[in-house]
A and B are shown apart, each in its own frame.
Chain A
Amino acid sequence: MAKIIVYIDDKKLEAESGKTILEVCRENDIEILTMCHLEGITDIGACRLCLVEIEGNNKLLSACTTKIAANMVIKTKTERIKKYQRITTELFFAERNHVCSVCVANGKCELQKLGYKVGLDHIRYPFLFPQCEVDTSHEWYVLDHNRCIMCTRCVRVCAEVEGAHNWDVMNRGNQVRIISDFNTPWGESTTCTSCGKCLHACPTGAIWPKDIVQGQLNKNPGMITELIEKRKLGL
C-alpha cells in the first residue's frame, strides 16, 4: 500500500492509504474514544464518539468509518468534539437504567470508563427511566436491556465471527431492542450456539454469565480480536 501524509492534531504523520482515521490514530497513540467499535468486526459509525473535524469538510465524520486521504488535516480534540463526546456520554447514561452500584460490570464497564474519561460527574438531562425487560431464559447467560447501549457489537460478533446471527435489532427510535432470533426468549433460540462471544463483546453489563454477582464480571473483548487475527493466519 502506498504511503500518504496526513496531519492529525497538528502532527504530520505518514500512513498507509486505505486505512481509516481511527486505525491511523491508534497506530500513533492518538486517543480516540469509541464505543460501538470493536477491533476486527465491521464498523458502523453509530456511537458518534469518534467524530473528528476534517479541514474543508463542514460535517463531522466518524473516524472509524472514514478513510484517510492524502494531506487530510484532521482534528480530534477540539472544544466542540469534547463537548459532543460529553453529551453523547450523558445521553448513554440517561437513555436506559444504568445503576452502577448494583451492576455486575461495576468497575469493569466501558461506559463507566468513558464517563470518567470525559469527566462526567453528573448527567444534565432528565433520565428517561424506560421499562426494560431482563431475559434470563438462557441456561448460562442473562441479557439485561436496562444496561444495553445499542452499540450492536453483540449483533455483529454473532453474525460475523460466530456466524450464528442469533442477535438482531427490532423497532426503531428509542424503542429499539436487541432481539434473539425473531424476538424469542434467548433460551429458546434455535440459532444461538451459547459460544459466549457476545458476552465478551458487550461493553457494559447488559450480557453476563449467571454465576456472578455485583462487580465480578470479567470481560475480554480482546479475545475476539485475537480470534479474528488467528483465523486470518489460519491458526
Chain B
Amino acid sequence: MNRQELKTTIEAEKNKLDLQKTKHRICVCCGAGCISSGSEALLKKLQEEVETRGLEKDVEIIPTGCMGPCNQGPLVKFQPENTIYQKVDCNNIQPVVQAQVVENKPIENMLLFSDSRSKPFVNAKDDPFYKKQLKIALQDCGDINPEKIKDYLSHDGYQALDKVLFEMSPEDVIGEIKHSRIRGRGGAGYPTGLKWETVYKYVSPEKYMICNGDEGDPGAFMDRSVLEGNPHRVLEGMIIAAYAVGANKGYAYIRGEYPLAIKRFELAIKQAKKMGLLGSHILGTEFSFDVEVRIGAGAFVCGEETALIASVEGKRGTPKPRPPFPAESGLWGKPTLINNVETLAGIAPIINKGGEWYSEIGTPKSAGTKVFALAGKINYAGLIEVPMGTTLREIIFEIGGGMPGGEDFKAAQTGGPSGGCIPAEYLDVKMDYESLISLGSIMGSGGLIIMDKSSDMVDVAKYFMEFSMDESCGKCVPCRVGTKMMFDLLQKICNNKGTRIDLNRLEELAVYVKEASLCGLGASAPNPLLSTLRHFKQEYENRIEKEI
C-alpha cells in the first residue's frame, strides 16, 4: 500500500463509521476484568439475541478493550448514545436490547453506577468518573474492535505514521517528542525525547527498538489493557520511534501471562504488514522496519531494561550494570531504544496534534496524562487516565467514588513493590513524578491501591518485601540477601517479636540495599518499607519489644 491508498482506505473507513452513526453500535467490553466476569459468553448471547430479533442490519456488535470501571463489569456500551450498562449478563441482556435498541429508552436501574448514584447518567461521558478523566493512551480503548485494523484506521489510525514518513525528518520527530515533554511511563520517568535523541546520535548500521510490555507490578494492568484494547496504537508508536532513531528491527516484549495481548499484538503485526504499514519499504518509502513478539517467562526483573535485553537475546534475564546504557550498547551490543507500552501509546496523538498540545496538559515538569489502575478499598475500581497533577483526593473521591461504607482513608500505595505509601495528610498531593518522589513514593507503572484503617502498614511493607525477595534475580548481594534479611526482620516485627535493634538493622539495611544494588529492582525494593517507616513509624514502634 502506498500513501494515497492509505488515505483512501482511511477516508472509506471514516465514511462507514459516519453512516453507522445512524445505527446502533453495541460495544461489549472484552478487557481482562470483564472477560473474567463473563463478557465473552455475553457477546455470544447478544449476537443470538440480535439475530432472533432480526436486527442484524441496524446493529453492529463489537468486542472492545477496557472501558474503565472494571469492578462494575461486564460492561456494555451503546453507541451513538454512549450509554453504558453495568453488570450485564446472559440473563438480563434481553430487556436491555429491547429498551435501548427497540424502544430507545434506557433502563435507569441498570445503567453504570446506578446502584450508587441517585441519578445515573444516560451519556456516560457526563458521569464524574469519566468527566475528570482525559484519555489519550486509552483514547480508543472501549470504542474499537482491537482485532480489526480498519476500526483503528477509522479512528485516525496510522495517520501519524503517514505524517512522520512523508512530512517529517527523524530530527523533526525527535524535536516534536521533546517539545511534548512526555516522560517514560514505565516508572522512572526519563524524558522520552532525550532517550530517542541519545539513540539517534549513536552511529551504527544496526539499531533496535524494543517495546517493554513486561508489566509485572502486582495489581497493574494498564499496559495489558492498551495492548489488548488498541494494539495498533502501540505498534504505530513503535514504528514512529524506530523511524526517529533509525532502527530497522523491533521486538515487543510481552509477558507470557498476557496471552490475549500477545495474540492481539501478533494479529496487529500481521494486519499492518499486509497493508504495507510494517515490513520493508513502509508505504513505499525507503524506511523498513519489522517487529517480532518476544514472550516473557514471568520474571519481574525482566521489566528492567538490561535484563529484558538479556532475555530477548535468549540469556538468563539478569540486569547488567549501567553504564553502558542500552542507548549505547543494548541488544546484541547495538544502540537500542526501549520504551514502555503506555509511552508508545502516547506517541501517535502527539504527532497528530503536536507536541505543544501535549505539553500543555499536566504539570510543568510532568506533561500529559497517566493511566492508573485503581484498586483496593474504593467504590469504583478500574482503569483511569487523568492529566498529570490531578490530586489524589480527586482521584479517590471524585473519580473513584470514595471509600466503601464511608470508611476513613488511611493510605494510598503507588508504584507497586517499587513505590511507597501516601498517608491521609497528603491527600492533596498532585500526582506527578516529582511530588510522589518527594513523599518517598514513585509514580511507577501506575498501580494505585487505596487502603483504609483495616490495613496494617507493617504487613503492607512485608507483603511487598516478599514480592521483591521472590523476584530478585539473585545476581547482586544487596538485593539477593538484603531483601531476604529485611523480609525476615519484617516478619519478626509482624509477629511482635522484633526489638529496637531489629528496627535499627532494618533501617540500615533498607538504605544499603537502595544504594548498593545493581539494578532498579534492588534500588527500589526498600521503598515500601522506607515510606511506611517515614509515615507510619508508630505502627512499627507499637510492635517492637521495649527491651532486648
Contacts and interface: CB of A to CB of B under 8 A. Distances in A.
A–B contact via C-beta, under 8 angstroms: yes
B476 A46 contact: yes
Q: Which of B472, B482, B515, B516 has the most CB of A within 10 A?
A: B516
A207 B324 CA distance: 33
Given A84-B516, A175-B474, A45 B484 contact: no
Contact of B484 (A65, A88, A128, A150): A128
Contacts of A95: 477, 480-481, 484
A44 B505 CA distance: 28
Contacts of B482: 91
Nearest to A43: B321
A61 interface: yes
A119 interface: no
B485 interface: yes
Interface in B470-496: 470-478, 480-485, 488
B321 A66 contact: yes
B470 A48 contact: no
B24 interface: no
B320 A174 contact: no
Contacts of A168: 316
B517 A91 contact: no
Given A94-B485, A125-B505, A126-B488, A48 B517 contact: yes
A61 B320 CA distance: 12
A67 B518 CA distance: 16
Interface string A167-179: 0110111111000
B516 A61 contact: no
Q: Across the A-B interface, give the 9 residue pairs with the lowest CB-CB distance, nearest first.
A: A176-B474, A45-B321, A91-B481, A65-B321, A173-B472, A174-B484, A95-B481, A172-B474, A48-B516
B476 A172 contact: no
B299 interface: yes
Nearest to B481: A91
Interface string B460-471: 000000000111
In this complex, the member of B316, B476, B509 whose beta carbon has the largest number of chain A beta carbons within 10 angstroms is B476
Contacts of A87: 478, 508-509, 512, 516
B314 to A, nearest CB: 13
B405 interface: no
Contacts of A84: 512, 515-516
Interface in A153-178: 168-169, 171-176
By size class, the interface of chain A is: 35 or more
A61 B316 CA distance: 23
A174 B250 CA distance: 34
B301 interface: yes
Interface in A29-83: 44-48, 51, 59-62, 65-67, 80, 83
Nearest to B301: A172
Contacts of A80: 515
B205 interface: no
A186 interface: no
A13 to B, nearest CB: 20
Contact of A150 (B320, B474, B518): B474
Interface in B402-440: none
Contacts, number: 102
A47 B476 contact: yes
A126 B505 CA distance: 11
Contacts of B509: 87, 125
A26 interface: no
B323 interface: yes
Interface residues of B, number: 31
A173 B471 contact: yes
B513 to A, nearest CB: 9
Contacts of A45: 320-321, 476, 518
Contacts of B483: 173
Contacts of B301: 172
B165 to A, nearest CB: 38
Nearest to A177: B474
Nearest to A51: B516
A124 interface: yes
B518 A46 contact: yes
B526 to A, nearest CB: 13
A174 B474 contact: yes
A56 B408 CA distance: 44
A208 interface: no
Given A60-B516, A169-B316, A176 B476 contact: no
Contacts of A91: 477-478, 481-482, 485
A214 B473 CA distance: 33
B372 to A, nearest CB: 28
A169 B518 CA distance: 18
Contacts of A59: 515
A84 B516 CA distance: 7
Residue among B299, B475, B488, B515 having the largest count of chain A Cβ atoms under 10 Å:
B475
A67 B316 CA distance: 25
Nearest to A91: B481
B321 A61 contact: yes
Contacts of A173: 469-474, 480, 483-484
A2 B140 CA distance: 55
A92 B485 contact: no
12 contacts: A46-B475, A46-B476, A46-B477, A65-B320, A66-B323, A87-B508, A88-B478, A91-B481, A91-B485, A126-B485, A128-B481, A172-B473
Contacts of B471: 172-173
